[in-house]
Amino acid sequence: MKKTVFLLSLFSLLASTGTAQVYQEADLPDVMTFLDGSEVKTRADWEKRKAEIKDLWCDYLIGRFPEESPKLLSAEIIGTESAADGSTRRRVVLTFDTPNKKSFEVAVWEPKASDTAARPLLLTQPRHYQRQQWGGEALKRGYVVCIYPGLDAHHREKDYPGYERVWKTFKSEYPKATWSSSLGIQAWLASRTLDYLLDTKHGYKIDPEAVGITGFSRYGKQSIYAAAFDERFKCVVARSSGTPTACSYRFAGRQTFMESVALEDCPKVWLSDKARSFYGRENELPVEGNALMACIAPRHLMIDTSYNDGSDPTFGVERNYLSAKKAWTFQGEEDRICLSYRKGNHGPVTDERVKHNLDYFDLAFGRGKAGASDFPEVLLHAFDWKAWKSKQRTSDLATPREVSVRQKIEWMLGDQPTSIKDAGKYHIKTGEELGVPDSSRDRWNPGGIRRVPFSFSGKMHGNIFFDPKREMYKATVIWLHPWNYSHGSNEGYGVQGTTIYYRLAKEGYKVVMYDQFGFGDHLTDAFGFYDKHPRWSKMGRAVYDVRKVVDFLVDGEGITAQPVPPTDPAKIYICGFAFGGMVGLYATALDERITGVACYSGFTPMRTDTDAKPTGGIRQYWEWHALIPKLGLYHGEEATIPYDYDDVLALIAPRKCLIYSPTRDRFSSSEDIERCVMKAKTAWRDKAALTFIAPDDICRFQSKQQDVFVRWL
């Protein structure tokens, strides 16, 4: 999609132009396009673009480094140990020519000498699982291993005292530098460590073309920072590095229940205050992690993530990866960037996965037995709209005429197949099957609430929450989660006190939640969906699943792990946020058994949602998320879409409906939504049954938004 830059109020001073602008782009800033809109065409252009990216990264996210790096004054070995495997482990104090001649300690492990050949080098931080597992495995493979003082400010390691404070020491040495991120400063310390290790006068036999760095989670971020700003690092393996590296803030944040720039999500010392000012308007950031990763090209980079990682939303990671990959492709080295999925959550760190990571370092450095085929590109969210279109019948592509609104909606959602895999079959996936601990479901329990797993048609499964001490329940609420591909209905970041499902149970409701098809526990179930069902849609499947949940609640078509309270069929409500809000509207419009629906930040009118809008337009639904492919038939001609949300809302009448649309929701147009709701209101005889709330707020669903829902119920 063509980049859109809006000249609005005096908001941010963009360094490249010096003019007051607001940058707004729903998609990622293109790595191969300068901020002024010109394209990278030559290698010289790319070097300039890299410099621009690094400047923006410093200006917006981590602050600027000292203008010059201090010289190494001395390296004092303060301890040497010989291990049973023949390796030697030293502690070395490095003193630099800073204003006050400050020092820091590193640990250097050298394998048993067997020849005079130069060895590969691996740097990592002193967190116990990193030095023991990655460091230990690298040492076995003949790497020199260095543990440098990249320990996070919130971690402590008994055998490496003070390593977590070194960044503060060097920050205070340069009061004129604006560097504010501990992670950025620690990346700078990694470079100062290289100054020592790669200087041949210190006697290390290191191949300068085989220098790697690795880290997990916050240390993965730090490792990417280090390599982006220091080209002496030739290979990076960043495991579950999250935002702002493997995943951009645009595709994380509150609309996904993932890590945002807010202080409650991201420790103060990691990120500049300037970056935090973009909370809720992340689409105005002129630089994101895709661009910083691109600065590593054409060197080797592995993004190691998991299907259900609480820090790495898969959709955002893939979008970052594919965008960054353009820089490798431009230089003819597209096989040097790797996205590698693993089963499970953020942890644990397994020996098998550590070996996989070291195999990648070996491949990058031309050693070992691993080949490129051991690191295949697997994309969960890839969608070829043109290929989809080629499989459609003429009737699938023709706008229906002279039919009801309901029929138009059903046409848009596609043909439900007569045969759906495992229809009528029930199965509750275990934590062992998923690689995700069952206990993670109970993380936010305020106490006294029972969680009972259940399953409905298609082997879909979820959880039912209720207070077992109650004899009567106010109603049943189906909770539909936002764009949380990794965790689905299970919240990660931004929880204030407790989650909506536990809170409602505490308030006296029976609550049903499940990971929707293609999300969380069912993420990989949607792989190849349009190959199997080319004439259906993922939104059609989402609505089908809601209907099957209602079948379970009303007619008992499913199983539970333990007995649960019965459902009053006259009191079944839906509460949905973002993606869940959109699904909730469609499901309620098409299933009259649903008593009412609350939609939070769930839609913006389609006929006015063009590429000119900072929302991303309808493209995000037919292409990015492949939710309703037929919307692509109206791209550029949005005004001709057969129906809009006022029509969907009208089908919900006269039942109760809450539309909650914050005025600063970057995914919608508040004015368009208000007009839509006012138009739909004519369908309600009881005008009070349709509630419209448009607070001065951003897109989020936290305690205040929960308060509104509880009062509405």
Give the residue from 698, 690, 399, 450 showing the smallest Cα distance to 577. Answer: 698
Question: Which residue type sits at 712?
Answer: W
* Claim to verify: residue 39 and residue 167 sit in the same structural domain: no
For residue 9, name the pLDDT band (cuts at 50, 70, 90): very low
Specify the DSSP element, H or E, that contains 237: strand 235-239
pLDDT of residue 436: 72
Contacts of residue 352, defined as CB under 8 A and 6 or more positions apart, other chains included, come to none
Q: Is 325 helix (H, G, I), strand (E, B) or coil?
A: helix
Rounded to the nearest 5 percent, the helix, strand and coil shares of the chain are: 35, 15, 45
Give the residue from 653, 656, 641 showing the smallest Cα distance to 679. Answer: 653
* Distance from C-alpha of 43 to C-alpha of 66, rounded to nearest angstrom: 27
The CA-based diameter of the chain, rounded to the nearest angstrom, is 88
Torsion angle in degrees (nearest 10) through CA of 359, 362, 364, 366: -140
The pair of three-digit structure tokens given for residue 473, joined into one six-digit string: 């329940």
* Claim to verify: residue 24 and residue 129 sit in the same structural domain: no
* Distance from C-alpha of 543 to C-alpha of 591, rounded to nearest angstrom: 9
Give the residue from 627, 629, 684 showing the smallest Cα distance to 654. Answer: 684
Checking if the pLDDT of 4 tops 50, the result is: no
Is position 95 within any domain? Answer: yes
**Mean pLDDT confidence for 258-273:** 95
Is position 156 within any domain? Answer: yes
* Distance from C-alpha of 101 to C-alpha of 81, rounded to nearest angstrom: 28
pLDDT of residue 21: 59
Contacts of residue 523, defined as CB under 8 A and 6 or more positions apart, other chains included, come to 307, 308, 314, 380, 485, 486, 488, 515
Exposure class string for 260-270: b at 16+ Cβ within 10 A, else e: bbbeebbeebb
pLDDT of residue 440: 73
Containing domain of residue 644, as a range?
Answer: 388-600+622-662+671-712
* Claim to verify: residue 548 and residue 587 sit in the same structural domain: yes
Describe the crossing of helices 538-555 and 405-413 by its angle, rounded to 10 degrees: 110
Give the count of beta carbons closer than 10 Å to the beta carbon of residue 44: 9
* Distance from C-alpha of 689 to C-alpha of 112, rounded to nearest angstrom: 77
Checking if the pLDDT of 429 tops 90, the result is: no
* Claim to verify: residue 21 and residue 116 sit in the same structural domain: no
For residue 434, name the pLDDT band (cuts at 50, 70, 90): confident
Is position 363 within any domain? Answer: no
**Mean pLDDT confidence for 280-284:** 96
pLDDT of residue 14: 42
Query: Is the Cβ–Cβ distance between 309 and 258 less than 8 Å?
Result: no
Q: Is the pTM of this model over 0.85?
A: yes
* Claim to verify: residue 148 and residue 35 sit in the same structural domain: no
pLDDT of residue 431: 76
H helix count then E strand count, the chain: 22, 20
Specify the DSSP element, H or E, that contains 357: helix 351-364
HEC profile of 700-713 = CCCHHHHHHHHHHC
For residue 8, name the pLDDT band (cuts at 50, 70, 90): very low
Q: How far is the first Cα of the chain from the last one, in angstroms, to the nearest whole number?
A: 41
Is position 707 within any domain? Answer: yes
Checking if the pLDDT of 7 tops 50, the result is: no
> How does pLDDT run across 570-605, given as a tens digit for each residue?
999 999 999 999 999 999 999 999 999 999 999 999
Q: Residue 651's domain is classified under what CATH number?
A: 3.40.50.1820
For residue 477, name the pLDDT band (cuts at 50, 70, 90): very high
> How does pLDDT run across 535-552, given as a tens digit for each residue?
999 999 999 999 999 999
Give the residue from 244, 348, 399 showing the smallest Cα distance to 252. Answer: 244
- Output the average pLDDT for the chain: 94
Domain boundary among 44, 62, 80: 62
Is position 344 within any domain? Answer: no
* Distance from C-alpha of 463 to C-alpha of 442, rounded to nearest angstrom: 11
> How does pLDDT run across 380-392, given as a tens digit for each residue?
999 999 999 999 9
Neighbour-count burial of 85, counting CB atoms closer than 10 A to its CB (0-12 exposed, 13-18 middle, 19+ buried): exposed
* Claim to verify: residue 555 and residue 675 sit in the same structural domain: yes
Query: Is the Cβ–Cβ distance between 111 and 135 less than 8 Å?
Result: no
Which phi and psi angles does 151 have, rounded to 5°? -65, 130
- The fraction of the chain above a pLDDT of 90, given in percent, is 91
Checking if the pLDDT of 10 tops 70, the result is: no
> How does pLDDT run across 493-525, given as a tens digit for each residue?
999 999 999 999 999 999 999 999 999 999 999
Checking if the pLDDT of 2 tops 60, the result is: no
* Pairing status of strand 119-124 against strand 144-147: parallel
Count of domains observed in the chain? 3
Is position 573 within any domain? Answer: yes
Checking if the pLDDT of 403 tops 50, the result is: yes
* Claim to verify: residue 27 and residue 124 sit in the same structural domain: no
**Mean pLDDT confidence for 61-82:** 97
Checking if the pLDDT of 673 tops 80, the result is: yes
Residue given tokens 């829902």 in the structure block? 709
Domain boundary among 160, 185, 211: 211
Phi-psi category of residue 458: left, alpha or beta, with phi > 0 → left and psi -120 to 50 → alpha = left
* Claim to verify: residue 96 and residue 18 sit in the same structural domain: no
* Claim to verify: residue 48 and residue 190 sit in the same structural domain: no
Is position 420 within any domain? Answer: yes
* Distance from C-alpha of 67 to C-alpha of 229, rounded to nearest angstrom: 13
* Claim to verify: residue 699 and residue 580 sit in the same structural domain: yes
pLDDT of residue 419: 87
* Distance from C-alpha of 548 to C-alpha of 553, rounded to nearest angstrom: 9
For residue 34, name the pLDDT band (cuts at 50, 70, 90): very high
pLDDT of residue 116: 73
> How does pLDDT run across 618-649, given as a tens digit for each residue?
999 999 999 999 999 999 999 999 999 999 99
Checking if the pLDDT of 404 tops 70, the result is: yes
HEC profile of 386-409 = HHHHHCCCHHHHCCCCCCCHHHHH
* Claim to verify: residue 33 and residue 98 sit in the same structural domain: no
* Claim to verify: residue 35 and residue 160 sit in the same structural domain: no
* Distance from C-alpha of 304 to C-alpha of 137, rounded to nearest angstrom: 17
Q: Is 671 helix (H, G, I), strand (E, B) or coil?
A: helix
Is position 84 within any domain? Answer: yes
* Distance from C-alpha of 46 to C-alpha of 43, rounded to nearest angstrom: 5
Domain boundary among 211, 239, 270: 211
* Distance from C-alpha of 533 to C-alpha of 546, rounded to nearest angstrom: 19
